[in-house]
A and B are shown apart, each in its own frame.
Chain A
Amino acid sequence: MSQAINKSLSPSPEEIIISPEKSLTNLRRELWAYKDLFYILAWRDFKVRYKQTAIGAAWAIIRPLLTMIVFTVVFGRLAKLPSDGVPYPVLVFTAMLPWYFFASSFQASSNALISNADMIRKIYFPRIIMPISKLFVNLVDFLISFAILIMLMVWYRVTPSINILFLPLLLLMAGMAAAGAGLWFAALNVTYRDVCYLVPFIVQLGLYISPVGFSSSVIPDQWRIIYSINPMVGVIDGFRWAVFGQDVNISVLSFILSTVFIILLFASGIWFFQKTERNFADVI
């Protein structure tokens, strides 16, 4: 056995320097070294997600479908909001795809550190893996919902536009928004458990100020700028534009605003997380 052990001793081992200041430059190299952990954490979350549930993965279908029905009835039938010539259920469902992906990822990554406090206290790994890996479970749910969207579109005879090719890019934006916000709140959550109460509130509020149940065209022009600071406005409008083409009203200015804000959120999230990371084990 000791023979086997000897073989794996590498002749020129890498050098690690531990000092009070951690440099940002080796983040990429570290993430590469820990890529297996990244996969396996995402896989773990996926694996345990629907354990001990009676209907299992069906929840990924039921939840968005029911929400879509409620929104269609409330906003489309009762409030009679305009739908830009698109069947209301499809309009709502298209927006719910990025919204739920964002909201669930954001919520899961905000809690990622404190729900794995034991690992943070006992083992070293690049902490950023923990919140980011949460995005991937929700990506699976997104793909399931996407299949439902296709079925809905077939049912309502909606032909997708060529813009649909931009969808991956828009999904990336939603992911960056979730990761940026998630990193901020995950790091804050280590010291301030208030975050546990704040995040569900933000998500709930966000659902009403984002164009999920309605189209952005109902927003008066003078409110447009403030409305667009919400990064999900750009993403959701983008999704509708990608699926329905030019029929849907999209404001270029508000899209650019949202994009800039998402990039800022993402970059500052990484910066803040890296800055606070080295004290996580002491505080958590």
Chain B
Amino acid sequence: MSIAIKAENLGKKYAISHEKKQRHHCNTLQESLTSMGKHLWRRCQHPLSQTSDAFDIEEFWALKDVSFNIKQGERVGIIGRNGAGKSTLLKILSRITSPTTGKVTIKGRVSSLLEVGTGFHPELTGRENIFLNGAILGMNKEEIKRKFDEIVSFAEVEKFLDTPVKRYSSGMYVRLAFGVAAHLEPEILIVDEVLAVGDLTFQNKCLSRMTEIGQSGRTVLFVSHNLNAVKQLCDRAILIENGSLRLEGTSDTVVESYVSSVAIHLAPSKEYEKNKDKVTAEIRAVSVTNEGATVDRVDLKDEIFVHMEYELYRDLTGISVGLQIIDIPSGQTILSSPDPELDVSRLGLRKQGLYRAIVRIPGNLLNTSTYTVKVGISDRYRIYDCIEDVVFEVVDRAGIVNIFGRKRKNSILSTQLIWDLYRLS
């Protein structure tokens, strides 16, 4: 088999400038203008200085020295945590952005689906948008004509072909968008998490379409947080961590080592130093405990306490502290619970200070798996802080079935339900 994608020492550098903590707030236009004027004046006096007064320019390598080969016809999954550099890699491979260092040689036509429905025009009808979107994704007119009926029946929008898509329901819109995308026939297909659209039936339809594309000898690159889907769809996988390629191998081994590395590297509790950039509110510590002690592994039947410490640096109203429990292998959020969930009055003023919140997760709820705890502080307009570092594992010590490496219950939740039984005759 010949090589379809050959990446050599790929690197991508971003220059990020972020504002230093402001010593004084600019509340009026005049104040911000004068501070801008001062800034400009200093800049003119020292035109060569790298960092200016109000901004820190920081170099950041989103991707560093990444090399790999992908053979023709292979289906390769790319996994890694948020911000590891997966999207940057995809953007380089699909030529949306150019690398800072290195080189990629690609044999064949590439289509990338970083998002479905890009370029859809709301004023145009479904029919017109199929042609428009098809052309945007790299199909020529003949190809689209040939595929037209298939796309329409895949998306189930026959009746609304001549309706402007701005009148479509969001489900119809997404189905049409994916319908066009799913009928691309490039030699190399790059997919980023687009399977997470539509209802379950439609998702399965998309998944089987992906498998079909993969089986037809096309090279597929697939980025997803859903590790199970990666295992199911891909022969091989690449693990990216902090911009570097950490591991390459069969999808089963890479996924497994990723899950266990997440479990090893990330502690069941984490404390955070005061960050000078965070001026309003900040999460200071998160931990998972059981019977008063921090634990990284709990039994299926045990209850779990999530402790969150956060500090508000000024009095705030309308803030919400959110807690999510995410199942790592599937990428699914299992639980989601914001602070003022039941009590709206808690959206009122909250005084500045250090707070601790404790949430109890009952036993026999989370099934055996590895979970991350995601905690965020936000109000309606912005997110002040959000962290996702704490990981814990739920194991089944009692179950005999567990010996064979299986879940006692083949379901998302492990809740035990009561069966009432009556003999009727």
Binding site for B on A (CB under 8 A): 1-2, 5-6, 8-10, 13-20, 22, 34, 36-37, 39-41, 44, 47-48, 51-52, 116, 118-125, 278-279, 281-282
Contacts and interface: CB of A to CB of B under 8 A. Distances in A.
B164 to A, nearest CB: 8
Interface string B6-18: 0000000010000
A203 B99 CA distance: 37
A22 B97 CA distance: 11
Nearest to A15: B107
17 contacts: A1-B212, A5-B216, A9-B218, A14-B109, A17-B103, A18-B92, A18-B99, A19-B98, A19-B103, A36-B135, A37-B135, A44-B121, A122-B115, A123-B119, A125-B138, A278-B98, A281-B91
Contacts of B139: 36
Nearest to B104: A18
Contacts of B217: 6, 9
Interface in B246-260: none
B135 A40 contact: yes
A156 B218 CA distance: 67
Contacts of B91: 281
A16 B110 contact: yes
Most chain B CB inside 10 Å of its own CB: which residue of A5, A8, A15, A123: A123
Interface of B: 14, 91-110, 112, 114-115, 118-119, 121, 123-124, 128, 131-132, 135-141, 185, 187, 212-213, 215-218
Given A18-B98, A119-B136, A123-B96, A13 B109 contact: yes
Contacts of A17: 103-106
Contacts of A36: 135, 139-141
Given A17-B104, A47-B128, 12 more contacts: A6-B217, A9-B218, A13-B187, A16-B106, A34-B138, A120-B96, A122-B96, A123-B96, A123-B114, A123-B137, A124-B112, A278-B97
Contacts of B98: 18-20, 22, 278-279
B186 to A, nearest CB: 9
Given A1-B212, A281-B91, A14 B108 contact: yes
Nearest to A2: B216
Contacts of A125: 136, 138
B97 A282 contact: yes
A14 B108 CA distance: 5
A202 to B, nearest CB: 24
Contacts of B132: 40, 44
A1 B154 CA distance: 13
A113 B14 CA distance: 21
Contacts of A1: 212
Given A20-B98, A278-B97, A123 B112 contact: yes
A13 B110 CA distance: 11
A119 B119 contact: yes
Closest 5 CB pairs between A and B? A13-B108, A278-B98, A5-B216, A124-B95, A18-B104
Nearest to B125: A47
A15 B105 contact: yes
Contacts of B93: 18
